[in-house]
Amino acid sequence: MLRLGASGHLDRIERLDRRLSGDPSEPDDADLAPLLMAAAALTPKRPVSQAARTRALAAMLREADRVTRTPAAAPAAEDTAAPGVHVRVASAGNNMRLRVADIEDIPEERLTQIAENLVARLGQRAPDRNP
């Protein structure tokens, strides 16, 4: 692994550190201008409270936990292979399949109607409650 000292940028890093620390003896350097602009863009415009930092950390940890958690096993579905149970599969939009099981035969028209109703329902948007 390449260390900062071995990369040849140690002098540049030291100059940037002095400039960001507010050293008035450090002259303007065109080489540091993009780095100073990036540092200014990353500087918060107002002070961040410790409570806000704690809330942000808690939110990050919750999200990391949610992403890395393995999903719980879904409850076992009923056995639809039993005689007398009719199962049909229909497309309900992009990459969505609808599986309908009934004790009566499911005609094609009824299956299509159920799929269209489901697609219409999923396509509805909730009203925006934000002002």
User: Rounded to 5 degrees, what are φ and ψ at 14?
Assistant: -65, -40
**What is the C-alpha to C-alpha distance for residues 65 and 62, in angstroms, rounded to an integer?**
5
Is pLDDT at 88 greater than 70 in this prediction?
Answer: yes
Confidence tier at 1 by pLDDT (50, 70, 90):
very low
Domain range summary for the chain, segments of one domain joined by +: 9-45, 86-123
CB atoms within 10 A of CB 110: 14
pLDDT tens for each residue of 28-86: 778 888 888 888 888 877 887 899 889 999 999 988 888 888 766 656 556 666 677 88
**What is the C-alpha to C-alpha distance for residues 20 and 14, in angstroms, rounded to an integer?**
10
In the chain, the percentage of residues whose pLDDT exceeds 90 is: 6
pLDDT (average), residues 84-110:
80
Rounded alpha-carbon distances, angstroms, from residue 46 to 21, 37, 87: 19, 17, 60
Greater confidence (65 vs 118) lies with: 65
Greater confidence (115 vs 62) lies with: 62
**What is the C-alpha to C-alpha distance for residues 100 and 86, in angstroms, rounded to an integer?**
8
